[in-house]
């Protein structure tokens, strides 16, 4: 089966992650706290797809560690960066954190010097990253490498410290943004706020792939704001959509032809059928007089009511 999700990656750069973990440390030091509390410390209203991605980013850099079910705490590595014993000791810890994400370590080994955006994008595509993930990965990587260089986290030879390969998948990494298909169970998230009371099934995806619609709603939802919570089962019966057909319309009598149709109200449609010849200016004028007379009658009825 083709990959439907990108490999794991941090959704923010290391300097942004350090700002976030410092807020958690300032509030609760290294005490174990639940993820909802941690999300609130870094500026979210509570648990959401966006907050899960942010907390997952901290875990990717090794700045937090899991202590129990839905509980985390600030790691010793984070403490060594934000409160080092000696200022010069922070560089090694920063380097370790910056190359802790498996994809960042892989990219640094592949491109030890300067790399263009085109080359990096091409490599990420070959490694299985989806289009929606490529821009965040590139932005976070370039900002992180720049941060490491500014803090002199690389030694004179350009070599990096040995970083452990044992990186567990952070909570929230299984979330998928965009790429929804018909039948998937999804949420709609805008600026960290869920827009639906509960996840809904996708009933329609626009031809250009930029919009979806869910069961029971005609509202178009931007694909970039869609959070896929559960993929549709391959064995599931796909939904059926009724096709418009001539049988859905009022039949025309023999010799009649449709001259025009129009929407005259939110749910009111009008079809004008003509027989015996073509409509000209004279006929349209008489039709207008008939409609004006009918409007006058309806107005009188409304006043009497």
Closest CA to 10 of 44, 59, 48, 43: 59
pLDDT at 188: 83
Beta bridge partners of 273: 258
Distances (CA, A) of 118 to 122, 134, 247: 6, 11, 54
Domain 178-230, CATH class in plain words: mainly beta
What does the domain layout of the chain look like in residue ranges? Answer: 14-150, 178-230, 253-304
**144-149, long-range: CB < 8 A, 24+ apart:** 144/13, 144/14, 144/15, 144/98, 144/104, 145/98, 145/108, 147/13, 147/14, 147/15, 147/94, 147/98, 148/14, 148/94, 148/95, 148/98
Beta bridge partners of 274: 257
Q: What's this model's pTM, rounded to 2 decimal places?
A: 0.54
pLDDT at 141: 93
Distance in angstroms (rounded) separating the CA atoms of residues 225 and 21: 26
Tokens linked to 150 = 């500014």
pLDDT at 172: 54
Closest CA to 79 of 67, 95, 63, 68: 63
DSSP for residue 247? G
Beta-strand pair 226-230/185-190: antiparallel
pLDDT at 170: 61
Tokens linked to 126 = 């070959």
| Angle value at C-alpha 77, between 74 and 83, nearest 5 degrees | 85
> What pLDDT tens digit does each residue of the chain (305 aa) get?
344 577 889 989 999 999 999 999 999 999 999 999 999 999 988 888 888 889 999 999 999 999 888 899 999 999 999 998 887 788 899 999 999 999 999 999 998 888 889 999 999 999 888 888 888 899 999 999 988 888 877 653 344 544 444 445 565 554 555 677 888 888 887 765 678 877 889 998 887 778 899 998 888 888 877 877 777 765 555 555 555 554 445 555 667 777 777 776 666 778 888 887 877 888 888 888 888 887 777 776 666 65
């Amino acid at each position: 089966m083709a990959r439907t999700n990108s490999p794991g990656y941090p959704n923010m750069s290391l300097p942004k992650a350090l700002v976030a973990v410092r807020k958690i440390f300032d509030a609760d030091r290294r005490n174990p706290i639940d993820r909802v509390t941690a999300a609130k410390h870094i500026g979210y209203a509570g648990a959401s797809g966006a907050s899960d991605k942010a907390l997952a980013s901290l875990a990717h850099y090794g700045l937090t560690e899991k202590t129990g079910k839905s509980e985390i705490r600030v790691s010793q590595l984070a403490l060594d960066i934000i409160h080092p014993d000696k200022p010069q000791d922070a560089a090694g810890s920063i380097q370790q954190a910056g190359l802790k994400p498996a994809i960042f370590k892989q990219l640094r080994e592949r491109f030890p010097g300067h790399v263009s955006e085109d080359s990096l994008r091409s490599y990420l595509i070959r490694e299985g990253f989806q289009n929606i993930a490529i821009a965040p990965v590139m932005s976070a990587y370039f900002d992180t490498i720049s941060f490491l260089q500014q803090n002199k986290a690389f030694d004179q030879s350009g070599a990096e410290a040995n970083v452990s390969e044992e990186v567990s998948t952070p909570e929230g990494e299984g979330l998928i943004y965009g790429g929804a298909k018909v039948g998937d169970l999804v949420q709609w998230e805008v600026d960290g706020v869920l827009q639906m009371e509960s996840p809904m099934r996708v009933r329609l995806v626009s031809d250009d792939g930029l919009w979806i619609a869910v069961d029971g709603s005609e509202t178009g939802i931007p694909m970039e704001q869609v959070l896929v919570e559960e993929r549709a089962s391959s064995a599931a019966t796909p939904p059926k959509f009724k096709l418009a057909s001539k049988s859905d319309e009022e039949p025309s009598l023999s010799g009649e032809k449709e001259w025009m149709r129009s929407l005259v109200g939110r749910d009111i449609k009008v079809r004008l059928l003509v027989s015996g010849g073509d409509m000209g200016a004279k006929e349209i004028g008489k039709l207008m007089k008939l409609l004006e007379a009918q409007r006058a009658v309806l107005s009188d009825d409304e006043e009497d009511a």
